[in-house]
């Protein structure tokens, strides 16, 4: 049964690459736009009572609100009901039709006597547009113990640096994250999912993608990397994609994933920013082979696309959008079918 | 004992006013600049490792760093060791020669069934330039009972909306704050002081200015308003100066105090922004009569002066500085002897 599933997903993967190969992406210079805060993670965007809102995090979150991406934004701190899971970085959000805002965070715990840390993923909910959040708890964590010999400079394992995106049918939230420990085949970009109906009570309800199925628990549980590290994260010369940033692009009718690539020394130097496409977010092997769109020197951590139209966000963009790197944009990104 | 002091204070006031009337202040339009955050209080400025830093608060503080007040600045949330005294607005700071950063905050507690709140003043300390703070505790609170019939729309009493400056001899930090309840002669702008030597251990060490002396305790204790409310804060048509913002101006060799004036309906509508001068922080009756520099319409909450040269701040400025109102500046403010 497992072998059959693997063969099927490989076949889908090949088809996915073929379908996505036709996409073209163009970067063009644009007047600089800077978000007010430091972006030390993906920076989710949503609209609240007609106002553009972006959450940025550097160990704690702030949110900035204004008339639009290109308008004046004013920042303020986000309040939490508990600071148990700080430091925390809010990386994704989802706004329900009734105005309830769900958010998901990357939390780091110090390990190995504080020399390294280990991220996990948690969930939050807000009923006031992100001014304050209630912590719903940790929903995604690794099975492995910390690897105190890891030489990448930051992490001794863990799951983090992620995006959460809902499928079109509103069946599942898909969590695309970096897995920084465990067996070599599991390290790199991995996936888990949470039923849409479980969003308000998510602890214990997340399932990881492993060997072609969704049968591994989010807390503990094994993963299969859909973009495996070329050199694992415990090595000083680690070579891996990380920090997936996803959106649905209506101009090309594809999900788009931007990726950072760390290579090939400690400290995660940026080898480049890459892009990949997929018609179905629920098909983890459906992503086209990542193609480089920015090279070393120009590339920075935390690339993401933000749509320009009213209602567009980091999850939804059209033919012409903004490419942000670490909270600053100097380029438009143009998607051609 | 207190009567001669009051008389002395009145004489000092009359004498200083004559000489201070010679100061001139001019506002001139300038290229707009905005701090990254929302300013719902005074926003203290300091320099840290050669970088300009401004702390802004809306119930929680954020800190923005950059090359200078003209930017670009990037914001992040301030981390606290304890969230017991939130909501919190950091209103003043002081950097010791060894880099230790002291800060003082306005904390609001809900009273009267949550209809109103009551501010108090606390102290913080940071060893990393303001990225994280340790709470030293509440150092100034009101000795007057809450007034649940207060009609100003926000406060049922308390002490808050303040500036802190040390004198030139570094003997005392002077707290110029607003008192929102108690006998009518106590309401308005009041003063307390803390010995410079007590800055790291300030709880129970602050004394309030009352009837010409400094003998009333900072926790509890009575105050004499140095700029008394024209109409009490308990009334719906409260008419009072509030929110003093002080700096030392090197061009005119005077302390400068900017003031809001709330008048004359609930919700504290800004009647104008005023300026006053004093040779000596330690002479509370030495301030010149406040003169209006911005009228209703142009005035907003939280005026403050920020010096433009390296090393200058909200605490020290020269002849040409920036006037900020609520974190935005559209004017230069020019001080002439």
Q: What is the pLDDT of residue A299?
A: 93
Q: Residue A251 is encoded by which pair of tokens?
A: 């101009």
In the sheet that holds A61-66, the strands lie side by side as A45-48, A51-57, A61-66, A74-77
Contact status, residue B118 vs residue B146, Cβ threshold 8 Å: yes
Which residues on chain B are in Cβ contact (under 8 Å) with A36? Answer: 36-37, 64, 74-75
Q: What is the pLDDT of residue A17?
A: 32
Which residues on chain A are in Cβ contact (under 8 Å) with B300? Answer: none
Burial code (b: 16+ CB inside 10 Å, e: under 16) for B245-261 equals bbbbbebbebbbbbbbb
Contact status, residue A107 vs residue A122, Cβ threshold 8 Å: yes
Q: How far apart are CA B225 and CA B266, in angstroms?
A: 21
Nearest chain A residue to B83 by CA distance is A83
Contact status, residue A64 vs residue A52, Cβ threshold 8 Å: no
Q: How far apart are CA A267 and CA A238, in angstroms?
A: 10
Pairing of strands B240-249, B316-317: parallel
Residue B192 DSSP symbol:
E
* Nearest CB to B75; choose among A37, A83, A87: A37
Say yes or no: ipTM exceeds 0.95: no
Q: Mark yes or no for CB contact B86/A58 under 8 Å.
A: no
Contact status, residue B49 vs residue B129, Cβ threshold 8 Å: yes
* Domains annotated on chain A, with CATH: 2-336 (2.115.10.20)
Contact status, residue A105 vs residue A124, Cβ threshold 8 Å: yes
- What's the average model confidence in pLDDT over B12-27? 54
Q: What is the pLDDT of residue B302?
A: 97
Q: Residue A220 is encoded by which pair of tokens?
A: 């503990």
- Is the pLDDT assigned to residue B20 strictly greater than 80? no
Which residues on chain A are in Cβ contact (under 8 Å) with B55? Answer: none
- Is the pLDDT assigned to residue B10 strictly greater than 60? no
Q: How far apart are CA B79 and CA B131, in angstroms?
A: 6
Q: How far apart are CA B215 and CA B192, in angstroms?
A: 10
Q: What is the pLDDT of residue B217?
A: 98
Task: Give which of B143, B140, B145, B144 is closest to B160, Cα–Cα.
Answer: B140
H helix intervals, chain A: 2-20
Contact status, residue B303 vs residue B10, Cβ threshold 8 Å: no
Q: How far apart are CA B196 and CA B204, in angstroms?
A: 14
Which residues on chain B are in Cβ contact (under 8 Å) with A58? Answer: 76-77
Which is more confident, A290 or B16? A290
Task: Give which of B316, B293, B291, B317 is closest to B303, Cα–Cα.
Answer: B293
Q: Which of residues 52-71 of B touch A (CB under 8 A)?
A: 56-62, 64
Q: What is the pLDDT of residue B2?
A: 32
Q: What is the pLDDT of residue B19?
A: 38
* Nearest CB to A76; choose among B37, B74, B83: B37
Q: What is the pLDDT of residue A6?
A: 35
Q: What is the pLDDT of residue A1?
A: 33
Q: What is the pTM of this model?
A: 0.92
What are the average pLDDT values for consecutive 10-residue runs of chain A, which has 337 residues? 34 33 86 97 97 98 96 96 98 98 98 97 98 98 96 96 97 98 96 98 98 97 98 96 98 97 94 97 97 95 96 96 97 96
Q: What is the pLDDT of residue A23?
A: 74
Nearest chain A residue to B79 by CA distance is A60
The band of B15, judged by pLDDT with boundaries at 50, 70 and 90, is: very low
Q: What is the pLDDT of residues B48-107, one digit of tens each?
A: 999 999 999 999 999 999 999 988 999 999 999 999 999 999 999 999 999 999 999 999
Q: Mark yes or no for CB contact B77/A79 under 8 Å.
A: no
Which is more confident, B331 or A19? B331
Q: Mark yes or no for CB contact A62/B74 under 8 Å.
A: no
Which residues on chain A are in Cβ contact (under 8 Å) with B74? Answer: 34, 36-38, 327
Q: How far apart are CA A97 and CA A102, in angstroms?
A: 11
Pairing of strands A254-262, A291-295: unpaired
Q: How far apart are CA B307 and CA B299, in angstroms?
A: 20
Contacts of A152 (CB under 8 A, 6+ apart): A180, A233, A234, A235, A236, A238, A262, A266, A267, A268
Q: What is the pLDDT of residues A50-85, one digit of tens each?
A: 999 999 999 999 999 999 999 899 999 999 999 999
For A114, other C-beta atoms within 10 Å of its C-beta total: 7
Strand partners, A61: A57
- Tell the CATH topology of B2-336: Tachylectin-2; Chain A (2.115.10)
Q: Scan for tokens 């040409």, then name that residue.
A: B320
Task: Give which of B307, B295, B298 is closest to B333, Cα–Cα.
Answer: B307
Q: Mark yes or no for CB contact B75/A78 under 8 Å.
A: no
Q: Residue A269 is encoded by which pair of tokens?
A: 């130097």
- Is the pLDDT assigned to residue B284 strictly greater than 50? yes
* Nearest CB to B74; choose among A37, A59, A79: A37
Q: Scan for tokens 């599942």, then name that residue.
A: A172
- What's the average model confidence in pLDDT over B244-267? 96
Q: How far apart are CA A314 and CA A330, in angstroms?
A: 16
Chain A residues touching chain B at CB-CB below 8 Å: 34, 36-38, 56-62, 64, 72, 74-79, 83, 86-87, 327
Q: Mark yes or no for CB contact A72/B34 under 8 Å.
A: yes
Where along chain B do its domains lie? 2-336
Between chain A and chain B, how many beta carbons pairs sit less than 8 Å apart?
Answer: 73
The band of B310, judged by pLDDT with boundaries at 50, 70 and 90, is: confident
Task: Give which of B322, B321, B316 is closest to B163, Cα–Cα.
Answer: B316
- Is the pLDDT assigned to residue B231 strictly greater than 70? yes
- Is the pLDDT assigned to residue B326 strictly greater than 90? yes
Q: What is the pLDDT of residue B22?
A: 63
Q: Mark yes or no for CB contact B75/A75 under 8 Å.
A: yes
Q: How far is A83 from chain B (nearest CA, A)?
A: 8
Q: What is the pLDDT of residue A30?
A: 98
Q: Mark yes or no for CB contact B327/A75 under 8 Å.
A: no
């Amino acid at each position: 049964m497992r072998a059959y599933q693997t063969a099927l997903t490989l076949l889908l993967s090949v088809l996915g690459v073929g379908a996505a190969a036709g996409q073209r992406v163009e970067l063009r210079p644009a007047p600089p736009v800077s978000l007010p805060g430091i972006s030390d993670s993906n920076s989710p965007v949503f609209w609240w009572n007609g106002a553009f809102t972006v959450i940025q995090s550097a160990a704690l979150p702030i949110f900035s609100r204004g008339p639009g991406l290109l308008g004046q934004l004013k920042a303020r701190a986000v309040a939490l009901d508990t600071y148990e899971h700080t430091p925390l970085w809010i990386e994704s959000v989802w706004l329900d039709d009734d105005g309830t805002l769900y958010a998901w965070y990357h939390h780091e715990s110090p390990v190995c006597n504080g020399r390294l840390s280990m991220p996990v993923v948690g969930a939050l909910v807000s009923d006031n547009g992100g001014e304050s959040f209630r912590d719903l708890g940790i929903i995604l964590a690794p099975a492995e113990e910390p690897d105190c010999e890891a030489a990448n400079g930051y992490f001794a394992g863990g799951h983090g640096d992620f995006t959460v995106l809902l499928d079109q049918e509103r069946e599942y939230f898909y969590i695309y994250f970096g897995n920084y420990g465990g067996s070599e085949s599991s390290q790199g970009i991995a996936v888990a999912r949470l039923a849409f109906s479980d969003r308000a009570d998510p602890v214990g309800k997340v399932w990881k993608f492993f060997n072609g199925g969704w049968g591994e628990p989010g807390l503990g549980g094994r993963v299969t990397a859909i973009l495996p590290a070329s050199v694992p994260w415990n090595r000083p010369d680690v070579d891996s994609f990380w920090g997936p940033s996803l959106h649905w692009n209506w101009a090309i009718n594809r999900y788009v994933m931007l990726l950072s690539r760390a290579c090939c020394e400690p400290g995660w130097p940026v080898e480049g920013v890459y892009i990949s496409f997929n018609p179905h977010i629920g098909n983890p092997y459906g992503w086209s082979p990542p193609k480089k769109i920015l090279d070393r020197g120009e590339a920075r951590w935390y690339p993401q696309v933000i749509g320009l139209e009213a209602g567009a966000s980091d999850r939804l963009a059209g033919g012409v959008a903004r490419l942000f790197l670490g909270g600053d944009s100097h380029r438009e990104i143009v998607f051609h079918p | 004992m207190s009567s001669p002091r009051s008389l002395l204070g009145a004489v000092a006031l009359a004498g200083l006013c004559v000489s201070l009337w010679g100061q001139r202040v001019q506002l001139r339009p300038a290229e707009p600049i905005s701090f990254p955050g929302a300013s719902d209080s005074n926003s203290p400025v300091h320099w840290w490792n050669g970088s300009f830093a401004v702390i802004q608060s809306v119930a929680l503080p954020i800190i923005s760093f950059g090359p200078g007040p003209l930017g670009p600045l990037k914001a992040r949330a301030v981390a606290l060791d304890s969230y017991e005294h939130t909501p919190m607005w950091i209103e003043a700071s002081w950097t010791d020669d060894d880099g230790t950063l002291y800060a003082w905050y306005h904390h609001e507690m809900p009273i009267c069934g949550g209809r109103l709140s009551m501010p108090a003043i606390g102290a913080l300390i940071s060893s990393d330039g303001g990225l994280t703070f340790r709470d030293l505790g509440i150092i100034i609170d009101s000795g007057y009972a809450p007034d649940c019939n207060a009609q100003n729309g926000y406060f049922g009493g308390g002490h808050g909306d303040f500036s802190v400056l040390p004198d030139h001899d570094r003997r005392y930090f002077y707290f110029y704050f607003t008192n929102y309840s108690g006998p009518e002669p106590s309401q308005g702008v009041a003063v307390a002081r803390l010995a410079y030597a007590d800055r790291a251990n300030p709880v129970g060490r602050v004394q309030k200015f009352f009837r010409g002396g400094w003998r009333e305790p900072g926790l509890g204790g009575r105050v004499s308003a140095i700029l008394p409310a024209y109409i009490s804060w308990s009334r719906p048509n409260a008419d009072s100066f509030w929110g003093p913002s002080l700096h030392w101006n090197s061009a005119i060799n005077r302390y400068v105090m900017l003031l809001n004036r709330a008048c004359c309906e609930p919700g504290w509508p800004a009647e104008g922004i005023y300026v006053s001068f004093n040779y000596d922080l330690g002479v509370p009756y030495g301030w010149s009569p406040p003169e209006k520099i911005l009228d209703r319409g142009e005035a907003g909450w939280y005026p403050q002066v920020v010096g433009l040269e390296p090393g200058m701040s909200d605490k020290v400025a020269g002849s040409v500085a920036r006037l900020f109102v609520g974190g935005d500046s559209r004017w230069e403010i020019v001080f002439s002897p």
